[in-house]
Amino acid sequence: MTSTTFFRKPGGFFQSYRAALRQIRGIALLYTAILAVVLPLLMTLTVTQARSNFSYYSSEMPMEYYLSSQASSFLYSILSLFVLPLLWLFALIFTVSLFRYLHDKRSVDLFHSLPIRRETMLLSRLTAELTALVVPLLAMLIVCFAILLCFGIPMQAVQDGMLDPGLLWLRALFLIVNVFALIGLMIFFLICCGTVFDATVSTIAFCGGLPLLLALSLSYLGSALPGFCGSDLPRFVYEGMNPLIGAFSLANEPVVPWLLWWLGYGAVLLIAAVLLYRRRASEAAENAFAFPLPRVLIRFLVSACFGMCLGLLIHGIYSSFPFLLGALLGAFLSHLAIEMVYRRGVKNIWKTMPSLGVVAGLFVVFYLICATGCFGYTSRIPAVEDVKSVTFTTSFGQTHSASFFTGTPQSRNYYGMMEPIVTQKENVEQIVALHQDIIDSYHAMGPLYPMSEGSVFEVSYELKDGSKLRRRFYSAAFPEGFLQELDRISLLPEVIENTTDCFFLTQDSFDTVSFWNSKENDEYQSFTPNAEQRSALIEALQQDFLSGMPQSSQYDERWFEMTLSYQGDSSLPAFAAEDSLAASLFHFDPNASLYLDSGSYLISSQHYPNTTALLEKYGWIE
């Protein structure tokens, strides 16, 4: 048996570091060559092509600004879409090459007989790997900046879209820190496992299993726990636990907290790897596991994922089949599969049945928590006097909801669409009563709530203490008469005035009115109304909406399509008072022009009586 204690030797770190660099120098040269082609060469070709095409695509922008924007677009895209996966690939190759001695009995005895401490050997090889990955990347980025200077491209973002060197270096730093976290994860599993195969399986299962388990759990919660909103789970839970998932979603928006998180993530894993490496026996090489932690973790992830997946799949195909039974069946099959992979067969697999029982017990507990309302989560409804405002949405849609944006029609900053919202106490009471009817409907179904599906009703309370309460329910649990009551609430004057587009228009919002006759199927006829006519038209539309939300008129015997436009565009200047609900919800930029997208109005005398009468009075329709 090889000793796990070693003597210190001055300079041992640098000797091991240089030896590790020599070991991977061939792979490092290949990696550097690929980076040289992807970054300096392709960027030179991109800028050269942009310079040739400048006269065709941009006549108003100075050439150096145009070239800067093209270089910026190329570098930002190539870092996220190609350089990041390339770093992951070579990080895997370097890690396996430098630490494969841990999984060969002859090699591990040789390395552990050297007069150098284990942690020194591990850290020196890690440093060599980071050097081989980071130095070529930074060198190629510096070459890229030198090439841009040769083309006369400014190294500062004078206007939007131009290359910002500070942001580019921040993105490069994010990639480096993210790869450091991934390397820490791989080294941790290489230390814990006795073979490269087991370490690879464990790393892939962890990176894929954790986000998949979260996604499947959210999918199940959405249908099994009445009232649950999937967005309640913080984004950090998805992206902060997995370097692969987090990098793809954050590479285009790196921020300092995430840099610190990935740095700490990798450091914690490396510290754990060093501590375990001190206790790792040399005899663990070529065995399944040096430590049981990865097997327990991966076995749970795989069993839980496949069990959840099979339960949801069977329930989706045949809704009467119990989800719990399908989940337990999937957990059993996946447990056998992962144990066969780790054990290279079925020998003594029965000894792992107690751990399967733990997974099955967790499934039962999870199912019961959801089916009973999660300790009052489903039944919670705020008191009316504590509510500041209530927003509710349905999957049935709404006619002419106001959708705001600022900027220009070509470059828009969307704020979103106004959803039905109420603030008046008597209207809040009606929403709360409707919410209570749904809860009572669930209570009437028995002690265990069934899984729900169908159309959606979502309600969001903004409370006076600043907190929010959101709940989502499906039509399978709607009580009798629910949809009729929801339609009645949707027609409340407060709801219509706060959500319908015509209530945000003024006489200056449009200058042209166009009509298309459904009977004659002729060309559009356009009119230019004066200020008085525009005001009267807005007032008539508002009266029709307040008298009852107009439905589609295209099935009526005779109808017209009416389109409002401003300077030839359907994007209409809008007005929202500073104390309006729209302004308080979206926090519009006071220095930017506010617009809304206005769809066509299908006008008929049955659904738009006031508007139809006014249009006939002006002679615009007959």
Beta carbons within 10 angstroms of residue 306's beta carbon: 24
Number of Cβ within 10 Å of residue 560's Cβ equals: 24
Scanning 193-231, the segments in alpha helix (DSSP H) are: 196-224
Residue 161: what pLDDT? Answer: 58
For the entire predicted model, the pTM comes to 0.69
Quote the DSSP letter at residue 597: E
Burial of residue 348 (CB within 10 Å: 0-12, 13-18, 19+) is: exposed
The residue behind tokens 């329930």 is 315
Closest CA to 388 of 588, 586, 584: 584
Specify whether the CB–CB gap between 573 and 538 falls below 8 A: no
- Say how far apart CA 503 and CA 272 lie, in whole Å: 61
> DSSP letter at 401?
B
112 and 2 in contact (C-beta within 8 Å)? yes
How far is the C-alpha of 161 from the C-alpha of 178, rounded, in Å? 26
pLDDT in tens, 204-226: 888 878 878 888 888 898 889 99
Domain positions in the chain: 12-291, 384-398+409-497, 500-618
- What pLDDT shows up at residue 37? 92
Length of the chain: 622
> What's the rounded Cα separation, in Å, for the pair 524 and 601?
14
Q: Measure the CA–CA gap between 177 and 171, rounded to whole angstroms.
A: 10
Question: Mean pLDDT in each 10-residue stretch from start to end of the chain (622 residues)?
Answer: 45 85 94 93 88 70 79 86 91 91 78 82 93 95 90 68 79 90 90 80 80 85 87 65 72 72 91 88 66 78 89 87 91 84 70 82 92 91 92 67 74 77 91 92 88 85 91 87 85 87 89 80 81 93 81 64 83 81 78 79 84 89 78
Helix, strand, coil tally for the chain in percent (to 5):
60, 10, 30
The string of pLDDT tens digits covering residues 118-149 is 888 899 999 999 999 999 999 999 999 899 88
> Beta-strand (E) ranges in 328-455?
387-394, 403-407, 412-417, 421-422
pLDDT at position 54, please? 75
State the pLDDT at residue 310.
Answer: 92
Distance of CA 288 to the CA centre of its chain: 36
DSSP state of 461: E
> For position 427, what pLDDT does the model report?
92
**Interior angle at CA 450, CA 445 and CA 454, nearest 5:** 105
- Written as one string, the DSSP assignment of 127-144 is HHHHHHHHHHHHHHHHHH
DSSP class of residue 569 equals: B
